[in-house]
Chains A and B, each alone.
Chain A
């Protein structure tokens, strides 16, 4: 037998390439792309072999001062991820991180952020306009910056599959409002992705953990990431993941700890060395970014070490050296992490349950590695008195992307593992309309299962009035001024009538992405009016259209790159076949020595596949093929004799393929208690 036809129809996972849907975690600090490989979600690494793509975008320095003749104003080139890290320090004015904090926001929302982050906004932004960020001499909307990150992830996936990827599920913080969700969806479109669904991050994490549909009970997901905090409480019941309540803070995360440590360090440098880096222009900005890198490293070290050291060279040649013991650090960050307690208690209250009714607690986000955070969680959910441990079996940096891949598979209908799973999520914020006196009338309460709808009737106040203005808001406060303005829209073309006579029915619908749709109808005349609500800080379709990133995807004609893709695909083919081998009866006929030889060859190929050279991958593939030759023959024999017992070879191999691998990350069996 020649290589790679170990099991003949290797179309095992092969849905048509165009139907492949990936799951994307577009994070504040890091972004990831994952997909469902058979019955298991896996993260797709980048070219550098790393699973995490840092959410950093840097505008490249122009290569030539003289534009090529004929070339008209070409799009600037950018660097994304790990390669952009250096730019943060070397050319901070051309680089940006944590742009997620600006998604769907207006000028007046980001005042606080501007004090803490080196965001440079375009000077001419009007209140109510979408923000634009200055990188070098160009400006970009937050959605465009995010689109660059998404495009990188899309390319990583395409490189991995050797085929185009056009459909994705993208995760958002559960507590994201309508405008933030729209901005995320726009970013997907600009990156050339058809965004099939926006999924809430904590819900995605629950999906990644709960692949085994036998699980039942009440669980909580505590998600403290780089810039956002979410808490969600879910009920699991026979494959249905029903979110009961959610709460959070879209401006709370590891970034805030970094900024706090940075501020302390900058103050100390000013006091001890008489250097105020904040007052210095370029050299200061670079030094601050270097210091920021150092405090982040110290923060990470303090999750496992009792003490961390800071040692930074200052622009004036001096050194800032400092030891940070864990207890000092814990005290310092306490006010930041305490801010997660309120939302947790509110979510419990909204779900109508006590902390001890939470049977399982899942931790998500890099910041949940901090011991002080773990301690706080333990207190809030009364874990250790009940002999419980939070779930951390899945990497907290990857679990959201893995869950997004599961949801992608649910939508694509591509895996038997996910066909019985269903996510029922909620809207995190109440939806209201401004009534007389600036009071908000709630029409859809927070924590309502989505899709959710409400119908309201409006009329006119003046004879002959032909339009009615409606102001839609999101939030929990009583006054419109304290809620988040989503949109103002006009009901137009009302037939002129006596005041109070028209009866305009407006239907508000929050779809499965958590995004609002509005339709209206004048009932007396039967005039149908479709209204597309534009968010207060949204882009029009035309604007999004104009920002769609050019696709360079066909430019990769590099022969060696293509060969590498093919070698990886070949490796995938044999790896997925070997993975299923132990399920086959023929496997039992192998000697232990032979099994371990196959295992060794498999592990070797697995390790070398993402980063190895073309030659190394081919060699390892051939070695695995050799090791499994005897097994392949035994299996074919079995299939043939199976056919004699009345089975066709096809059904024998189908049986083999439908063997499911169970999730190794199962929750402990939980008792189901009715919350009500």
Chain B
């Protein structure tokens, strides 16, 4: 997958162990290694998280700066960079959603950017099939906020919101299932199937972000 590089110390080909020489166990300078490569994995969405954790621990034992307190400054620097990459990679790959977002980004899609300036409107627009429901919910939320402000209590409204919350949580769970189904298609499919799955996942992630914000808003209002 990546161009074949070699251990700076013993010259052995690194193959799918770019951070740590498989022969002499020396830490390697980090080049353009992506998170999948850091773990010696092929780019894929289904992943054995137990094995991932085991590998994370195995590599940490070898790469962590604590192991290099007496090494050369050069190796200390590489250890720091390699461990940071390993930690970032583990954090990203262990959760299915972040893993999907990351893979899509590697595939050239700009998603999940929540920075100002980069903020896209996708997660601000309600999904078309939910327009009506979302409109109602927002009305109820506004009413509830007013009630809170005035110190009034409306048990009916409260229970409506609780019901709405569980409805949207169910939708959220359904999105997660859909994402993993599309993920499987991506993993197993050919070029066309992949392109289709990529598109579907990007849309699902937008929908998911919208729903999650909605649930968060309801939680905030209910907890106030």
A199 to B, closest residue via Cβ? B66
Q: Which of B16-65 contact A (CB under 8 A)?
A: 49, 57, 60-61, 64-65
Complex contact B116–A436 (CB within 8 A): yes
Q: Give CA–CA (A448, B86) in the complex, Å.
A: 12
Complex contact A437–B116 (CB within 8 A): yes
Q: Tell whether A197 is near chain B: CB-to-CB under 8 Å.
A: yes
Complex contact A439–B116 (CB within 8 A): yes
Q: Tell whether A509 is near chain B: CB-to-CB under 8 Å.
A: yes
Least Cβ–Cβ distance between B168 and chain A, in angstroms? 20
Q: Tell whether A394 is near chain B: CB-to-CB under 8 Å.
A: no
0 or 1 for each of B82-115: is its CB under 8 Å from A? (1 = yes): 0111011011000000000000000000000011
Cβ contacts under 8 Å, B65 to chain A: 451, 511-512
Complex contact B115–A196 (CB within 8 A): no
Q: Give CA–CA (A441, B116) in the complex, Å.
A: 7
Complex contact A441–B115 (CB within 8 A): yes
Q: Give CA–CA (A441, B114) in the complex, Å.
A: 8
Q: Tell whether B222 is near chain A: CB-to-CB under 8 Å.
A: no
Number of interface residues of A (CB under 8 A): 31
Q: Tell whether B164 is near chain A: CB-to-CB under 8 Å.
A: no
Complex contact B70–A413 (CB within 8 A): yes
Cβ contact of B64, chosen from A413, A424, A437, A454, cutoff 8 A: A424
B62 to A, closest residue via Cβ? A422
Q: Which of A17-71 contact B (CB under 8 A)?
A: 19
Q: Tell whether B69 is near chain A: CB-to-CB under 8 Å.
A: yes
Complex contact B69–A422 (CB within 8 A): no
Q: Give CA–CA (A197, B116) in the complex, Å.
A: 36
A411-B66, A412-B70, A441-B114 in contact; A449/B91 too (CB < 8 A)? yes
Q: Tell whether A663 is near chain B: CB-to-CB under 8 Å.
A: no
0 or 1 for each of A398-415: is its CB under 8 Å from B? (1 = yes): 000000000100111100
A413-B70, A422-B61 in contact; A450/B80 too (CB < 8 A)? no
Query: How big is chain B's contact interface, by range?
Result: 20 to 34
Q: Tell whether B73 is near chain A: CB-to-CB under 8 Å.
A: no
Least Cβ–Cβ distance between B113 and chain A, in angstroms? 9
Q: Tell whether A310 is near chain B: CB-to-CB under 8 Å.
A: no
Cβ contacts under 8 Å, B80 to chain A: 451, 509, 511-512
A456 to B, closest residue via Cβ? B115
Least Cβ–Cβ distance between B109 and chain A, in angstroms? 17
Complex contact A240–B61 (CB within 8 A): yes
Q: Give CA–CA (A407, B116) in the complex, Å.
A: 41
Q: Give CA–CA (A412, B70) in the complex, Å.
A: 7
B53 to A, closest residue via Cβ? A237
Q: Give CA–CA (A666, B187) in the complex, Å.
A: 46
Cβ contacts under 8 Å, A545 to chain B: none
Q: Give CA–CA (A458, B115) in the complex, Å.
A: 12
Cβ contact of A451, chosen from B84, B90, B114, cutoff 8 A: B84
A240-B60, A441-B116 in contact; A452/B84 too (CB < 8 A)? yes
Cβ contacts under 8 Å, B85 to chain A: 453
Q: Tell whether B117 is near chain A: CB-to-CB under 8 Å.
A: yes
Q: Give CA–CA (A31, B59) in the complex, Å.
A: 35
Least Cβ–Cβ distance between B129 and chain A, in angstroms? 30
Q: Give CA–CA (A452, B90) in the complex, Å.
A: 11
Cβ contacts under 8 Å, B83 to chain A: 451, 512
A238-B57, A435-B116 in contact; A453/B69 too (CB < 8 A)? no
Cβ contacts under 8 Å, B115 to chain A: 435, 441
Cβ contact of B57, chosen from A196, A237, A412, A441, cutoff 8 A: A237
Cβ contacts under 8 Å, B64 to chain A: 422, 424, 512
Apart from A422-B67, A441-B116, what are 10 other A-B pairs with CB-CB below 8 Å? A240-B61, A411-B66, A422-B60, A422-B61, A422-B66, A423-B66, A437-B116, A449-B90, A512-B64, A512-B65
Q: Can you pick out 15 interface pairs between chain A and chain B where the beta carbons lie within 8 Å of each other? A: A197-B66, A197-B69, A240-B60, A240-B61, A411-B66, A420-B61, A422-B60, A422-B67, A423-B66, A424-B64, A439-B116, A453-B84, A509-B84, A511-B65, A676-B49
* Interface, chain A (partner B; CB < 8 A): 19, 196-197, 237-238, 240, 407, 410-413, 420, 422-424, 435-437, 439, 441, 448-454, 509, 511-512, 676
